[in-house]
Structure 1
Amino acid sequence: MADLVEIPATSYDAPESRYDEEAAEFLYKAGESYFATNDFENALPCFNKLKADPKYPRAKYMFALALSAMGNCYEAKKEYKEFAKKYKETDSRTLEIIFASHLERCATAGKLKNIKAKNEKANGTDLVSNLNTKEVAKEYKIQFIAMKKPDATFPKLAEVGNISTEFFPNMSVFRYTLDGYNDIKSAAADVYKVRKMGFRDAFVAVYENGIRINTLYHAK
């Protein structure tokens, strides 16, 4: 009987854990990409699969934001509260304020939906839909949190935009807003200038009709 010939392996089998890590990283980046383009329906399952993974603590936060963007205000608030109990990083206050803004928009959208339903029932006309389909120019603003007084001067910031402040008494912080940006490129360029001034959590907020619809260029 002829001896059996052992055929050498032609491919390397990486440990399963390595594939799991690569898959998780891919999922998170995919979720971020979907979220950045307002494709919340596809972003949601990406963050949902990672929200319990301790290596991706922000996944649960992004899951809550995606829920809020899709109009699930109650579930979004519930997910965020669970996230906030465990997340103790230095940017937690900034994330809290961003989420509060998204939740406010979620509630506003719900009210508009109710108004639309009432108008349709009363007149048979979709008045709210006509307002929503009207072309509206987007406005870009740079926002960041600081422990400064509202009359504090920022001579360098005056060179990159107009300054307005909003006080959050429950957290004893001010949100600073630099407005007047009509395109994302100029806002993105200036947000890096603002970070060099020491405001490392500065980000770009996108507004329509005075309502913030998205946030971009978060600090890594």
Structure 2
Amino acid sequence: MNRKILVIFSSIVMLLPLSGFYLNGTLTNLIKLEYINSDNVLSDINSSIKNGDLIFQTSVSSQSKAIQLATKSKYSHCGIIYQNGKDFYVFEAIQPVKLTLLSTWINRGKDGKYVIKRLKNGDKLLTPPVISKMKNVGERFKGKNYDLTFEWSDDKIYCSELIWKIYKEATGLEIGRLQKLKDFDLTNPVVKTKMRERYGNNIPLNEPVISPEAVFNSNLLITVKSNE
């Protein structure tokens, strides 16, 4: 057993008499965190992925539920995986757009669950020069603010928009079908509340949008790793 996991479980055994054999949510989450960070698990993940892979998760942010309901998808956040030395990172649009260590990114999602996808012909298309171009395109967005109103401009940017625009410019491919805001299900009370919070009474229904769900379901991608 991994040493970190052994230590945490030994601590649990010591706590059982005091807890009445009840593990609260905090302790359970700590176990999950240690498991995800174990060397064996990370080694298994790293051996399965490549530069340019896409990773999806269910975010625990305040807007995640609204995105899931509006897009009919469990996934509400995504990013591009890049390798730097021996470590893998996720290039993502949060606040601000940045690189995040892969293990940190996974831990931040709901229950540490994720799905990793790749271009069907990625070995041929995602050559070192193309990956370099993707990174250069991404540098233009690095440090920019997260786009809370999902506008199709480059002033601010959201997660699936970041992926779509990098792939489009670097490879010419459109990963996912563009839609308009009005194409989504905006009828749920949770969605309505979030829309009023962001737009007031002026909802831009004709604004082009690319959702995590549209990227996830692109027929250009295959699944290479999942712990769902």
Scaled by the length of structure 2, the TM-score of the pair is 0.26
Greater relative CO (CA pairs within 8 A, separation 6+): 2
More helix by share: 1
TM-score in terms of structure 1 length: 0.26
